[in-house]
Amino acid sequence: MCGRFAQVVKHNQLKKLIDELNIRNQDEQIELNFNVAPTHPIGAVMYKHEDRFLTFFRWGLIPGWSKEPSTQYSMINVRSESILEKKTFKNALLRRRCLIPATGFYEWRKPDKQPFFIHAKDDELLLMAGITEYWNGSDGSYIQSAAIITTNANDFMKPIHERMPVILPPDTWESWLTDSFQDPASLQSFLKPCADDILASYPVRKLVNSVNVNSEECLKPMV
């Protein structure tokens, strides 16, 4: 499960992201969001033919067949283990993948509901695996949405939670962002827990529980 994350991309991190992923087009600067919640706009890297884009999606996948963009059908997470079992998710995995940069993500320890912030040990961005969808309304409205793919927790995460987002290592980025790469088995093989030694965590204050709080206080360690 990944129900909240932080997308606080600094200028030098954005430049590095653009260079490493060969991004040729980008929308406006990613807005700083210390407490990204469902339905919030999120920046993500996607592909279209030969181009790589940094663009924005609503967090919460809205199936194209949905009659309206209701939260009843939107999904912020999609389980890696069953992603090939449903046509909507399988098609998105094969044809509409994205990488979602994150400063880190929040998770709540089950016994005491204590929130933790999980981030890269070297403080680089985490690139989470995502899928996207496009919804067109009868009135001409248009929404592009995205979901984060989750997997079983690695040993580092298990004391906090049994699930975690799929964090893709650099050697998979090129394949993930190549639209001609559509082998289901190969793609699913990427969807596994990341290495234990790349992550670090610390407890944060419970003000992050509120979707209405979006400030750097969310990221500060609890003292």
Q: Which amino acids are annotated catalytic?
A: 2, 107
Residue type, 135: W
**Cα–Cα distance between 82 and 147 in angstroms, integer?**
14
Residue with tokens 């079992």: 85
- Chain centroid to CA 185: how far? 21
Which token pair is 184?
């289901």
39 and 60 Cβ atoms separated by less than 8 Å? yes
Closest C-alpha to 101, from 133, 72, 124: 124
State the DSSP H helix or E strand holding residue 189, giving kind and residue range, or none if neither. Answer: helix 184-189
H or E element at residue 176:
helix 170-176
